[in-house]
């Protein structure tokens, strides 16, 4: 009985420190990554999704608040900013190819970005989604910080947008390649561009794990669509209000 108390006090001590949550995050990611490689990079066995699932189950079962978890995991979260800056390097290395494809990059960017916004709007109308949730969904293909800013601007709820945006990323990373294979698309730059445009960072991470060219074009699409979405959504929103 005394030993049980002792174990419990150790647990109480550890769970209050960031170290435990950092270790859990990296450990569960390694499990996810191991399964991903074991499955020969099968898209549904997504390492991000697996580690999120493991950590969520731990938090729910042990009745730990997300804030307590994030207090430790924020050190990993912090690296997202520098990693975004680091995306300049693969773009720099493939700059010649990007210059060569500038025309089709611009056309695909504008049409792809418009399609993401308009198809979301149309589906929300079909499913009779409330306006506030609809506004929160429109910028969801942009990277999370941009999407949240745009959502706030047009009367959505930024925290809801964050959730929907991350969901978009996970969906794109898990199912996107099936659409690409179904269409029999072989051009790595095109495949990467589609993934990055529609499902931002998480799609880019997925593309990067498969092929460098795909990763570069995904990173490029992520940046460009962030800018395109922040211009197009408010513009379409104004047009919509005219009618």
Q: Is there binding between residue 124 and another protein (CB under 8 A)?
A: yes
Query: Among residues 101, 156, 232, 237, which is the contact residue for another protein, using CB under 8 A?
Result: 101
Identity of the residue, 10 or 86, whose beta carbon is nearer to another protein in the bound complex:
86
Q: Considering CB under 8 A, how many residues would be counted as binding another protein?
A: 110
Query: Among residues 43, 90, 94, 135, which is the contact residue for another protein, using CB under 8 A?
Result: 90
Identity of the residue, 2 or 132, whose beta carbon is nearer to another protein in the bound complex:
132
Shortest Cβ 66–another protein spacing (Å): 4
Q: How far is residue 160 from each of residues 53, 152, 155, 237, measured CA to CA in Å? A: 20, 10, 12, 18
What CA–CA distance (Å, rounded) separates 205 from 214? 10
Query: Among residues 12, 85, 239, 242, which is the contact residue for another protein, using CB under 8 A?
Result: 85
> In sequence order, what are the residues at sequence separation of 6 or more whose Cβ sits closer than 8 angstroms to the Cβ of residue 164?
136, 137, 140
Q: Is there binding between residue 34 and another protein (CB under 8 A)?
A: no
Asked if 177 and 41 touch (Cβ cutoff 8 Å), the reply is no
- DSSP-derived secondary structure letter, 225: H
Asked if 233 and 150 touch (Cβ cutoff 8 Å), the reply is yes
Identity of the residue, 4 or 65, whose beta carbon is nearer to another protein in the bound complex:
65
Query: Among residues 16, 19, 62, 86, which is the contact residue for another protein, using CB under 8 A?
Result: 86
Q: Is there binding between residue 138 and another protein (CB under 8 A)?
A: no
Shortest Cβ 9–another protein spacing (Å): 26
Supply 108's token pair: 């695909």
Identity of the residue, 51 or 135, whose beta carbon is nearer to another protein in the bound complex:
51
Identity of the residue, 10 or 83, whose beta carbon is nearer to another protein in the bound complex:
83
Asked if 182 and 201 touch (Cβ cutoff 8 Å), the reply is no
What CA–CA distance (Å, rounded) separates 218 from 207? 7
């Amino acid at each position: 009985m005394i030993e049980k108390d002792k174990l419990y006090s150790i647990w109480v001590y550890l769970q209050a420190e960031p170290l435990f949550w950092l270790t859990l995050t990296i450990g569960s990611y390694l499990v996810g990554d191991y399964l991903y490689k074991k499955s020969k990079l099968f898209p549904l066995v997504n390492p991000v999704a697996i580690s999120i699932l493991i950590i969520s189950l731990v938090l729910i079962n042990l009745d730990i608040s997300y804030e307590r978890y994030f207090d430790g995991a924020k050190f990993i979260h912090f690296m997202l900013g520098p990693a975004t800056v680091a995306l300049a390097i693969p773009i720099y290395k493939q700059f010649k190819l990007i210059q060569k494809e500038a025309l089709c990059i611009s056309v695909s960017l504008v049409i792809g970005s418009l399609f993401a916004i308009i198809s979301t709007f149309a589906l929300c109308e079909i499913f009779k989604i409330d306006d506030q949730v609809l506004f929160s969904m429109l910028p969801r293909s942009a990277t999370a910080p941009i999407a949240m800013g745009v959502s706030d601007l047009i009367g959505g709820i930024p925290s809801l947008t964050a959730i929907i945006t991350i969901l978009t990323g996970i969906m794109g990373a898990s199912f996107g390649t099936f659409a690409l294979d179904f269409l029999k698309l072989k051009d790595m730059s095109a495949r990467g561009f589609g993934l990055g445009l529609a499902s931002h960072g998480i799609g880019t991470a997925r593309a990067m794990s498969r092929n460098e060219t795909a990763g570069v074009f995904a990173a490029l699409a992520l940046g460009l669509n962030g800018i395109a979405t922040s211009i197009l959504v408010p513009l379409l929103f104004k047009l919509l209000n005219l009618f």
